[in-house]
Amino acid sequence: MAKPYSVLAGKAVRALARLRGGGSALPGLFVEKIDRDFVAAALAQLPHGVVLISGTNGKTTTTKMVVELLESQGMKVFTNRTGSNFSRGVAAALLGEVDARGRLVADIAVLELDEAHAVHFVHKVPPRYSLLLNVMRDQLDRFGEIDATANMLAEIARATTDTVVVNREDPRLRIVARTIKARVRYFGLHDSLLSSFPNDDSLHGGDTESDDRPAADVVLARLGDTATFSLHGKPVTTPLKLQGVYNVFNAAAALALALAIIGDDVDEPKLIARLADVTPAFGRGEKLVVDGQPCELVLVKNPSGFRLGLKSFPPEGYATMIAINDNYADGRDMSWLWDVDFESLHEGVAEVTGVRGYDMALRLQYDDVPVGHVDTNLTRALANFLAVSAGKPKRIYCTYTAMLALRRELGKHAKVEVIS
């Protein structure tokens, strides 16, 4: 159990941070400084242990799905709901859940962690279950080459004590799976859908052929107005509130992990009913209402994510804005924008903004995409976008720090409410 003095001090910092209107990770950073064992001691109380979800794309939405699926089976779940996927974010979330004596009332923890921070985390808190989503070229200025990211995920897998759930369609993760002593389970795609979900090799001209795809517990079999999954060979069809083809594949990952955790006692009808009701996570295809019109926020942070976002959300009938920052949390190297095909936006982008707004506008120019206005100031750009697109549905593609800033600004410009 966590030390009472560290809990009380951390809770005090958390209260002060909330009074000042932010600093969600600051209390976590503080409590880790004064008590290095705080997180490990708090999580050690959980009877079903810790679940760790990592990979390049899809962590936040998949974590939200897994939490809700486990809750549908009667489990009380602790998670880092804010999407702060560094270890200090986990510590900050724990401060909001433990009592004054450091007691955490939950059955299991489901945590999203950035790959680099997860490597350090698992040395202190070995997960019982882990989920490896994918390996893509993302923030190479932080992580180095793509194989370095794969090695980080391999360390997470090797630290896992019970079951590792792996994306069988990622060739690097299939290699990782062969090094794991824990039980391995897979999720995957029907052959007919492989071209819709390119892995990193296929995106960058590598060899996409593979004859070593293992059998998967959960397979995404069909996309359309509904989604069909094969669960241990049994087809299950359900509508989904989640938008975006990538979120449907994330649903297959979440189902595979939930089934691995719950085992034979699963109540499948409740599981599927809850999956059908899951809404997008914070800023990940999240739909807001601004002046009576929908406004969608689509997070983009690497070529595959941006490509799938453009594929998932047809531009017709929507005013489009793109906001690109290059702060640390976004990744400094924005050269990846040249690996994205923007021709689907041929009708034009009304507003381009962010620290790298002019770089983005130049990239659009090379694909003959008309740009209405460029302003690197996010506040002014959003005000202009709302004015010129009044009365129309809106969609904003944005990097992480731009998304946080724009979401705050949307609350100032109009009444903003989350809709499911």
Are 159 and 92 found together in one domain? Answer: yes
CA 253 to the chain's CA centroid = 12
Q: Please give the structure tokens belonging to residue 31.
A: 């409590």
Domain boundary among 237, 259, 277: 277
- pLDDT at position 58 is 87
- pLDDT at position 142 is 45
Domain boundary among 277, 303, 329: 277
Domain boundary among 233, 257, 277: 277
Total domain count, the chain: 2
CATH assignment of the domain containing 118:
3.40.1190.10
Are 11 and 131 found together in one domain? Answer: yes
- pLDDT at position 419 is 41
Are 148 and 271 found together in one domain? Answer: yes
Q: Consecutive sets of 10 residues in the chain, 420 residues long: mean pLDDT of each?
A: 65 67 64 77 94 91 96 95 68 82 92 88 95 77 69 95 97 93 96 84 58 91 93 95 86 97 95 93 74 89 85 90 91 89 95 97 97 96 95 94 90 56
Are 309 and 262 found together in one domain? Answer: no
CA distance 34 to 4: 12
CA distance 91 to 264: 33
CATH assignment of the domain containing 333:
3.90.190.20
Are 229 and 257 found together in one domain? Answer: yes
- Which helix (H) or strand (E) segment holds residue 61: the answer is helix 59-72
Are 61 and 80 found together in one domain? Answer: yes
Are 240 and 326 found together in one domain? Answer: no
Are 205 and 343 found together in one domain? Answer: no
Task: Say if residues 111 and 63 touch (Cβ distance below 8 Å).
Answer: yes
- pLDDT at position 19 is 61
- pLDDT at position 420 is 36
- pLDDT at position 114 is 82
pTM over 0.85: no
Are 269 and 288 found together in one domain? Answer: no
pLDDT digits over 251-288, tens only?
999 999 999 999 999 999 999 999 999 987 766 667 78
Are 263 and 370 found together in one domain? Answer: no
Task: Say if residues 54 and 156 touch (Cβ distance below 8 Å).
Answer: yes
- pLDDT at position 93 is 84
Are 220 and 330 found together in one domain? Answer: no
Residue 309 belongs to domain spanning: 284-418
Are 118 and 157 found together in one domain? Answer: yes
